[in-house]
């Protein structure tokens, strides 16, 4: 072929885009680390494909999972994605800690360019491809069960959201093997990320991965909001909804309104980079401050998108494991709503030091401190819920308690940062890094892990191992304090964030302690995987088929574990705030209904996987300037959507005899189970049936 054909086919790809080639030609430690990471992705993907092929599970995977529109399966796939991405981003965090600990008046293990990629991918992945999938997965699994619905309002859209998120996460993984990632941080500030300063593919990977993710999240938010407004079962009034549903609703509203600013910011940056527009360039009338405003108009509500779901989980967990009605339900609802509204009024505090007047800073500083009030209300409500309750220190409860202590601490440092004159002093230092990890690790990760332990038995029919759960919990907490408390000290001493080499020897001990903390955090993740392994191995001993291992309060506990495809044989009728808890005490919640009716459910669809794959191909084509691929991807997306609109056979009906069989099987398990008191719920005697005193 002639020399002019290859650029048309491969765009700007050339062999040095592959880290293996770079490492071969220049075998430094830095390049070898990059090649090693790429090798893990490639070998991991090959091993996965080989394993599925060996087990002959492709058909099963495709039919039961990848094309499924069942909200429960989609939820589980989201959480699996979150764990995969958490593993990568945590390893990157360790590498960054290792770099800073070894780079005190020395070059360390990675060069500056590589280090900048590490903090950019770590942040982008943790926010968009760990936190967002995790909370979206939890909403997906739990919320429809809690409101007594059979599925979300738009099951197909749900699958499309999953696959766009998965495709975007895939793009992040591809960037490890082909080319390099952005060095512009998770917020991708121009003008640095403009062509003039970052001509490579890195910022383009960032732009398209984030854009796909933000579109997926907007659609998820829409889906959940409609589900909650329109699909609640009879009697489930707004003020009877479990608090997790309330936080889902508020988060969804935030997603609907706060994701578009991100889409606009990344799209305008793309116009600058691809078509020579001048939104954020230094010359010809560009104005990067507009980017800062657009980005944080998304970025601050995003903080509450991340934290509110955890607040919902804690509300459920604390109430259940205290065997008490949630204290101050109304105030918790109002506080959640207040936080959601206020979250749109504080975005400027992310750039106090960027030149607006002192009065503007003062207004946003005060607004920021105001958010502390509803958050404080919540902490008190949870404490009062525990007061004189029958508190059990299960793993989810331990996470809740660790959250309350740690989050309050982070809140205090937030008040410091909300005060503009103080912010000027610690702005852009590790103090800030310590602060937001201090909010997001308890305020998101602990919450999601609490929810994982709490609802896992519901989703899979057996409890997670208690011992390894506690080991992991201990590591997450100790690791967090060791890794991030030193960063407060370092930040206050003036160490800038994102520093690749350190020239102040007195920082050494603090950086070592933080490095040890990162190792312990890695141990925490490893013990989570050990726990999963042990739990699956011992699953027969820990079955909770009857479905109610914790003397649960909401409707999600009133079904078998795992619940049937259709969730509820008969849509429940709700009369109070804790329908299942009260139901167990007022009568027999397991009494079968007089008769069953056929149930209509959505049929599987390959639209989601197809859109995810062609969407990723489109993004990849854009990143590498393979225009044929970009055009092909666009055409395929439009064609897929139009083709799907012609599909008419989109439902399947579950016949009565199948429902009868499923329900009879479950009710037999309930009848065979021994009802246990709360003291025994962490032992194998727990078969998912709670002993209740009437």
Of 437, 451, 414, residue with least CA distance to 309: 451
Least distance from C-beta 255 to another protein, angstroms?
9
Least distance from C-beta 283 to another protein, angstroms?
8
Instruction: Please say whether the beta carbons of 157 and 89 come within 8 A.
Output: no
- The kind and range of the H/E element at 653 are strand 651-654
DSSP 693: -
CB atoms within 10 A of CB 679: 10
**429 φ, ψ to 5°?**
-110, 180
- Give the Cα-Cα-Cα angle 241, 244, 250 (nearest 5 degrees): 90
* Torsional sign, CA 358, 363, 364, 366: positive
Choice between 115 and 347, CB closer to another protein: 347
Least distance from C-beta 192 to another protein, angstroms?
18
Restricting to residues 497-516, name those near another protein by CB under 8 A.
Answer: none
Please list the alpha-helical segments (H only) found in 592-694: 607-623, 627-645, 656-672
CB atoms within 10 A of CB 525: 18
- The whole-angstrom separation of Cα 569 and Cα 208 is 43
Choice between 59 and 230, CB closer to another protein: 230
DSSP 543: B
Choice between 158 and 165, CB closer to another protein: 158
Restricting to residues 35-74, name those near another protein by CB under 8 A.
Answer: none
Among 20, 65, 277, 384, binds another protein (CB under 8 A): 277
- The whole-angstrom separation of Cα 501 and Cα 661 is 66
Helix (H, G, I), strand (E, B) or coil at 602: strand
DSSP 358: H
Least distance from C-beta 651 to another protein, angstroms?
11
Least distance from C-beta 432 to another protein, angstroms?
26
Least distance from C-beta 342 to another protein, angstroms?
18
- The whole-angstrom separation of Cα 536 and Cα 464 is 8
Least distance from C-beta 136 to another protein, angstroms?
16
- The whole-angstrom separation of Cα 444 and Cα 436 is 11
Choice between 287 and 662, CB closer to another protein: 287
Choice between 102 and 356, CB closer to another protein: 356
| Cα 664 versus chain centre, distance | 37
Least distance from C-beta 214 to another protein, angstroms?
11
Here's the x/- map for another protein, 72-111, by CB under 8 A: it reads as ----------------------------------------
Q: Cis omega before residue 562 (within 30°)? A: yes
Choice between 246 and 311, CB closer to another protein: 246
Restricting to residues 119-158, name those near another protein by CB under 8 A.
Answer: 153-154
Instruction: Please say whether the beta carbons of 133 and 81 come within 8 A.
Output: yes
Binding-site size for another protein (CB under 8 A) equals 40
Choice between 291 and 364, CB closer to another protein: 291
Choice between 13 and 154, CB closer to another protein: 154
Among 259, 333, 444, 611, binds another protein (CB under 8 A): 259
Least distance from C-beta 570 to another protein, angstroms?
17
- Give the Cα-Cα-Cα angle 209, 87, 224 (nearest 5 degrees): 55
- The whole-angstrom separation of Cα 500 and Cα 511 is 13
Q: Which stretch binds another protein (CB under 8 A): 61-69, 264-272, 413-421, 618-626?
A: 264-272
Least distance from C-beta 425 to another protein, angstroms?
30
- The whole-angstrom separation of Cα 265 and Cα 280 is 10
- The kind and range of the H/E element at 386 are helix 358-386
Restricting to residues 613-652, name those near another protein by CB under 8 A.
Answer: 638, 642, 645-646, 648
- The whole-angstrom separation of Cα 152 and Cα 145 is 10
User: Could you tell me how many residues make up the chain?
Assistant: 694
Restricting to residues 281-310, name those near another protein by CB under 8 A.
Answer: 281, 283-287, 290, 294, 297
- Number of C-alpha atoms within 13 angstroms, CB side, residue 242? 33
Choice between 153 and 630, CB closer to another protein: 153
Dihedral in degrees, nearest 10, Cα atoms 571, 574, 577, 578: -60
Least distance from C-beta 275 to another protein, angstroms?
7
Choice between 88 and 231, CB closer to another protein: 231
- Residue 54, C-beta contacts closer than 8 angstroms, at least 6 positions apart: none
Of 528, 410, 444, residue with least CA distance to 132: 444
Among 115, 134, 244, 279, binds another protein (CB under 8 A): 279
Please list the alpha-helical segments (H only) found in 103-195: 112-124, 132-146, 155-177
Restricting to residues 223-252, name those near another protein by CB under 8 A.
Answer: 223, 225-226, 229-231
Q: At what angle do helices 112-124 and 202-230 cross, to 10 degrees?
A: 10
Among 200, 260, 328, 562, binds another protein (CB under 8 A): 260
Among 275, 594, 651, 693, binds another protein (CB under 8 A): 275
Among 167, 188, 213, 261, binds another protein (CB under 8 A): 261
Here's the x/- map for another protein, 581-620, by CB under 8 A: it reads as ----------------------------------------
Instruction: Please say whether the beta carbons of 307 and 444 come within 8 A.
Output: yes
Among 196, 256, 337, 425, binds another protein (CB under 8 A): 256
469 in contact with another protein (CB under 8 A): no
- Give the Cα-Cα-Cα angle 524, 528, 534 (nearest 5 degrees): 135
Least distance from C-beta 389 to another protein, angstroms?
38
Restricting to residues 193-222, name those near another protein by CB under 8 A.
Answer: 218, 222
Choice between 234 and 376, CB closer to another protein: 234
Q: Which stretch binds another protein (CB under 8 A): 16-24, 273-281, 474-482, 656-664?
A: 273-281
Least distance from C-beta 71 to another protein, angstroms?
15
Note the residues at the interface with another protein (CB under 8 A). 153-154, 218, 222-223, 225-226, 229-231, 256-257, 259-261, 263-264, 267-268, 271-272, 275-279, 281, 283-287, 290, 294, 297, 638, 642, 645-646, 648
């Amino acid at each position: 072929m002639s020399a002019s054909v290859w650029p048309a086919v491969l765009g700007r790809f050339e062999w040095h885009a592959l880290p293996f080639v770079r490492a071969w030609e220049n075998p430094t430690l830095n390049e070898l680390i990059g090649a090693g990471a790429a090798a893990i992705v490639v070998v991991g993907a090959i091993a996965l494909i080989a394993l599925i092929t060996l087990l002959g599970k492709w058909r099963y995977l495709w039919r039961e999972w990848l094309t499924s529109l069942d909200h429960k399966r989609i939820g589980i796939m989201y959480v699996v994605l979150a764990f995969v991405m958490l593993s990568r981003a945590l390893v990157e965090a360790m590498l960054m800690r290792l770099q800073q600990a070894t780079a005190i008046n020395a070059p360390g293990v990675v060069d500056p360019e590589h280090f900048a990629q590490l903090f950019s991918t770590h942040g982008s992945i943790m926010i968009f491809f760990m936190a967002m999938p995790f909370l979206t997965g939890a909403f997906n699994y739990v919320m429809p069960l809690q409101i007594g619905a059979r599925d979300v309002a738009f099951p197909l859209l749900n699958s499309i959201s999953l696959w766009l998120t998965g495709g975007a996460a895939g793009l992040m993984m591809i960037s490890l093997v082909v080319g390099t990632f952005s060095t512009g941080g998770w917020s991708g500030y121009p003008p640095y990320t403009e062509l003039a300063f970052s001509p490579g593919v890195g910022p383009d990977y960032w732009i398209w991965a984030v854009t796909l993710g933000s579109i997926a999240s907007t659609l998820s938010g829409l889906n959940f909001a409609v589900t909650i407004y329109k699909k609640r079962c009879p009697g489930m009034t707004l003020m009877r909804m479990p608090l997790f549903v309330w936080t889902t609703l508020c988060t969804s509203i935030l997603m609907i309104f706060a994701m578009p600013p991100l889409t606009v910011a990344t799209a305008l940056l793309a116009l600058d980079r691809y078509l020579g527009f001048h939104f954020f360039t230094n010359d010809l009338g560009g104005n990067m401050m507009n980017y800062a405003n657009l980005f944080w108009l998304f970025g601050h509500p995003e903080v509450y998108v991340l934290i509110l779901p955890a607040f919902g989980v804690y509300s459920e967990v604390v109430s259940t494991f205290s065997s008490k009605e949630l204290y101050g339900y109304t105030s918790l609802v109002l506080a959640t709503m207040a936080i959601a509204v206020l979250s749109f009024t504080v975005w400027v505090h992310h750039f106090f030091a960027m030149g607006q007047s002192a009065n503007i800073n003062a207004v946003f500083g005060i607004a920021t401190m105001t958010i502390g009030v509803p958050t404080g209300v919540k902490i008190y409500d949870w404490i009062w819920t525990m007061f004189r309750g029958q508190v059990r220190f299960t793993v989810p409860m331990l996470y809740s308690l660790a959250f309350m202590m740690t989050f309050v601490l982070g809140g205090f440092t937030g008040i410091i940062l909300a005060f503009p004159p103080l912010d000027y002093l610690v702005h852009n230092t590790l103090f800030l890094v310590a602060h937001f990890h201090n909010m997001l690790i308890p305020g998101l990760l602990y919450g999601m892990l609490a929810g994982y332990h709490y609802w896992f038995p519901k989703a899979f029919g057996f409890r997670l191992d208690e011992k390894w759960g506690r080991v992991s919990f201990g590591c997450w907490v100790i690791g967090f304090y060791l890794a991030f408390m030193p960063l407060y000290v370092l930040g206050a001493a003036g160490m800038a964030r994102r520093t690749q080499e350190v020239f102040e020897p007195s920082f050494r001990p603090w950086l070592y302690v933080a490095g040890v903390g990162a190792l312990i955090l890695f141990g925490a993740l490893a013990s989570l995987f050990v726990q999963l392994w042990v739990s699956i191995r011992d699953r027969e001993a820990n079955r909770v088929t009857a479905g109610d291992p914790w003397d649960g309060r909401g409707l999600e506990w009133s079904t078998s574990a795992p619940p049937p495809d259709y969730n509820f044989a008969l849509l429940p009728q709700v009369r109070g705030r804790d329908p299942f808890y009260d139901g167990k005490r007022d009568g027999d919640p397991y009494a079968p209904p007089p008769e069953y009716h056929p149930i209509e459910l959505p049929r599987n669809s390959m639209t989601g996987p197809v859109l995810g794959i062609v969407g990723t191909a489109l993004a990849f084509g854009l990143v590498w300037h393979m225009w044929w691929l970009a055009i092909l991807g666009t055409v395929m997306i439009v064609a897929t959507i139009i083709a799907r609109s012609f599909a008419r056979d989109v439902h399947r009906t579950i016949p009565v005899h199948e429902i009868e069989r499923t329900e009879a099987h479950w009710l037999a398990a309930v009848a065979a189970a021994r009802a246990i008191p709360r003291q025994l719920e962490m032992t194998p005697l727990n078969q998912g049936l709670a002993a209740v005193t009437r």
